[in-house]
Chains A and B, each alone.
Chain A
């Protein structure tokens, strides 16, 4: 068991972001202002259902904001990262950096 207080424990790492698909979604949303559902689906290669489920989890944690609109008769979903999501992602990166820097020593 690691006991050094300088480095985050595995249990401290944000599990919600740590999941590979959600990490990829968060990474894309971190560099853009917003994007639509189709964009995320193409870039992450996730299925519609899978992406929806991951987005719902991130939305529940208030990491992302989902805006549902209509374009003509077709539904149109715009997704963006909230301030909380941005902070959580930055913290996750910091924690992972710390963790890996300790591993290398």
Chain B
């Protein structure tokens, strides 16, 4: 039983509960890995992307249904919680548009500037998500994204050829995400065993 009750903290806790199994870690890990692999698999991009996305979504639903929800139950977000998600979605769409305009229109063909813009925008956007939702694990995600882009800039500056300056950091960071997911999932399964009867 908590010693004090704060509604904002409860909201943050609920967002956190939804990701108690760490599936977001896996999702982001795969995304980071995919973004790195695009550089060498450009010729099969169009076939692979939808297949990967659909299979991840299907596995996500199956996983939630048979592993997560029977253990910690299911919750539907309230009106304000959904509004916050909408607000975050709008912010991310706007920042993506700004990022694309900056990269394509204002600094075309400037790879270093594109990497700096990634370093500025994406970790900041994730921090914004963490601040609004109160889900503190997102700060670690922002840090890992920052690490990814810092490594990319560093490898680009030491003249590592394309696509390796992008691929190596993406593989390293996605591995960190996967290990994190494994640890979170192990902790989750240990902390929340399956109840005898699924519900009342």
Residues of A within 8 A of B (CB): 20-21, 23-24, 27-28, 30-45, 48, 52, 71, 74-77
Given B5, B13, B76, B198, which contacts A38 in the complex, CB threshold below 8 Å?
A: B198
Number of chain B residues close to chain A: CB under 8 A: 28
- Can you name 10 A-B pairs with beta carbons within 8 Å? A24-B1, A28-B14, A31-B14, A35-B74, A36-B73, A36-B75, A38-B198, A38-B199, A41-B73, A42-B72
Residues from chain A with a CB closer than 8 A to the CB of B70 are: 38
Main secondary structure of the interface of A (DSSP, over half): helix
Given A24, A36, A38, A52, which contacts B2 in the complex, CB threshold below 8 Å?
A: A24
Instruction: Report if A28-B10 is in contact (Cβ < 8 Å); known contacts: A35-B73, A40-B73, A45-B1.
Output: yes
Closest residue of A by beta carbon distance from B76: A33
Q: Is B80 an interface residue (CB 8 A)?
A: yes
Q: Is B55 an interface residue (CB 8 A)?
A: no
Bound form: Cα–Cα A75–B81 in Å: 28
Residues of B within 8 A of A (CB): 1-2, 5, 7, 10-11, 13-14, 17, 69-81, 192, 195, 197-200
Bound form: Cα–Cα A39–B10 in Å: 13
